């Protein structure tokens, strides 16, 4: 479905962000992309939708070579890639329905969407999608009146309205609480299964990646150093990806009555409990032109 062959990226500054990336994603597969800050995760996702120009290699979506496209053919190809962002990228003053319908922008043309005249079938599909993502009651609300989790659901419905073949998802849970994060990851996973959609999810939370992805790819310094099942992501592999750390231990909760125990002892947890840093960051998928 999506095939990257020998993809490399060197920024004009001289930074080499990706080296010889080989990746093949079948229909319906949910792939989590993990790795430390600066490993190249955003660059990889942005190379696929061509917000960043790869400097080497080939990226094929079905039978289309994405690296060769420009102008209207590139715009057309981008419609088949739905994007979901950490900061949701909604228009605050517009309603939920209008935000979802903006997913049609690539189809209906600027003036028609500017005048907010969307085809009847797009409106009907937007209703169906809002029902599916659990927001049928919020259609007329302004986007800025929603919680983070609800905003992300709108973002998901908007991405699906363009009937994509592939979802590119940038830190979808970075601004959400743990329960809402799980609900959003579960929703993305279910929707991918229902629609045979492939997804690449850039995510810092290793435990969430393990629970909800079919496959995990670990990047380190621009190279793939792990590509396997979530259950194969051992402590040793986490060290390969992130560097040396005691992944199997967590501090015993501090006991106020017993000073000696605080910080001095630890208990063993499963590698699944290991969670890498989880900090919100600027939404760079949404911004700017190709670099
Ligand atoms: N616009 C740019 N110009 C020059 N170098 C860049 C640019 N964007 C990223 N880089 C460099 O490319 C490398 C990979 O960065 P990238 O943002 O893709 O990593 P990341 O894994 O997404 O990091 P994070 O998890 O912190 O978002 C880093 O060395 C970074 O400094």
The Å distance, Cα 35 to ligand 1 centre, comes to: 12
pLDDT above 90: residue 251: no
Distance between Cα 253 and ligand 1 center (Å): 36
Tokens of 202: 């850039």
Residue that the structure tokens 């996702």 belong to: 45
Nearest CA among 50, 1, 31 for reference residue 285 = 50
CA of 9 relative to ligand 1 center, distance in Å: 10
The pTM of the full predicted model, rounded to 2 decimals, is: 0.84
Confirm or reject: Cβ of 37 under 6 Å from ligand 1.
yes
CA 82/CA 49 separation, integer angstroms = 9
Minimal CA–CA distance to 48: which of 35, 64, 72, 37? Answer: 64
Phi, psi of 251 (to 5 degrees): -65, 145
Distance 239 CA to ligand 1 centre (A): 21
Atom of ligand 1 nearest to the CA of 44: 18
Q: Which atom of ligand 1 is nearest to the CA of 35?
A: 21
Is there an atom of ligand 1 within 6 Å of 38 CB?
yes
Residue 21, ligand 1, Cβ within 6 A: no
Convert the pLDDT of each residue in 177-203 to its tens digit: 999 999 999 999 999 999 999 999 999
* pLDDT score of 252 more than 90: no
Whether ligand 1 lies within 6 angstroms of the CB of 41 is answered as: yes
Per-residue pLDDT reduced to its tens digit, 135-191: 999 999 999 999 999 999 999 999 999 999 999 999 999 889 999 999 999 999 999
Pairwise CA distance, residues 226 & 233, whole Å = 8
CA triplet 253, 254, 259: central angle to 5 degrees? 150
* Residue whose tokens read 């329960």: 179
Cα-Cα-Cα-Cα torsion 105, 189, 38, 42, nearest 10 degrees, comes to -20
Q: 263 near 256, Cβ under 8 Å? A: no
| Pocket perturbation via mutation, ligand 1, pick of 35, 36, 41, 279 by most ligand atoms within 8 A of CB | 41
291 lines ligand 1 (CB under 6 A): yes
Cα–Cα distance measured from residue 136 to residue 80, given in angstroms and rounded to the nearest whole number: 25
Question: Which has more confidence, 245 or 287?
Answer: 245
Cβ of 8 closer than 6 Å to ligand 1, yes or no, is no
Gap between the Cα atoms of 189 and 211, Å rounded: 10
Neighbours of 145 (CB within 10 A): 12
Reported as type and span, the H/E element at residue 198 is: strand 198-202
Say if ligand 1 is within 6 A of residue 62 CB.
Answer: no
Count of all residues that appear for the chain in the document: 291
58 three-class SS? strand
Average pLDDT, the chain: 85
CA-CA distance, 195 to 169, in Å (whole number)?
16
- Ligand 1, atom 30, residue with closest C-alpha: 38
Tokens at 86, concatenated: 């950490």
Q: 17: CA distance to ligand 1 center in Å?
A: 6
Per-residue pLDDT band at 77 (split at 50, 70, 90): very high
Closest ligand 1 atom, CA of 15? 5
Query: What band does 283 get if pLDDT is binned at 50, 70 and 90?
Result: very low
Instruction: Pull the structure tokens for residue 53.
Output: 């120009």
> In this structure, is the dihedral angle defined by the CA atoms of residues 158, 286, 20 and 61, taken in order, positive or negative?
positive
């Amino acid at each position: 479905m999506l095939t990257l062959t020998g993809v490399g990226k060197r920024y004009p500054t001289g930074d080499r962000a990706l080296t010889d990336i080989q990746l093949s994603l079948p229909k319906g597969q949910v792939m989590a992309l993990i790795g430390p800050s600066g490993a190249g995760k955003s660059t990889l996702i942005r190379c696929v939708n061509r917000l960043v120009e790869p400097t080497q290699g080939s990226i094929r979506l079905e039978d289309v070579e994405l690296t060769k496209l420009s102008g209207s053919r590139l715009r057309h190809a981008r419609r088949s890639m739905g994007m979901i962002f950490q900061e949701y990228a909604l228009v605050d003053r517009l309603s939920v329905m209008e935000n979802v319908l903006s997913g049609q922008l690539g189809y209906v043309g600027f003036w028609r969407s500017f005048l907010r005249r969307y085809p009847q079938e797009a409106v009907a599909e937007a209703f169906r999608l809002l029902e599916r993502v659990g927001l049928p009651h919020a259609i007329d609300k302004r986007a800025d009146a929603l919680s983070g989790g609800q905003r992300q659901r709108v973002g998901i419905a908007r991405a699906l309205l363009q009937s994509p073949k592939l979802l590119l998802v940038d830190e979808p849970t970075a601004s959400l609480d743990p329960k809402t994060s799980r609900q959003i990851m579960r929703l993305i996973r279910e929707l991918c299964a229902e629609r045979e959609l492939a997804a690449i999810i850039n995510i810092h939370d290793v435990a969430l990646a393990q629970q909800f992805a079919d496959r995990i790819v670990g990047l380190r310094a621009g190279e793939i150093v792990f590509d396997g099942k979530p259950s194969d992501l051992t402590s040793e592999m986490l060290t390969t990806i992130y560097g040396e750390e005691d992944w199997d231990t967590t501090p015993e909760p501090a006991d106020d009555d017993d000073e000696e125990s605080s910080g001095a002892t630890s208990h063993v947890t499963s590698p699944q409990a290991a969670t890498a840093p989880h900090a919100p960051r600027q939404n760079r998928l949404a911004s700017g032109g190709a670099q």
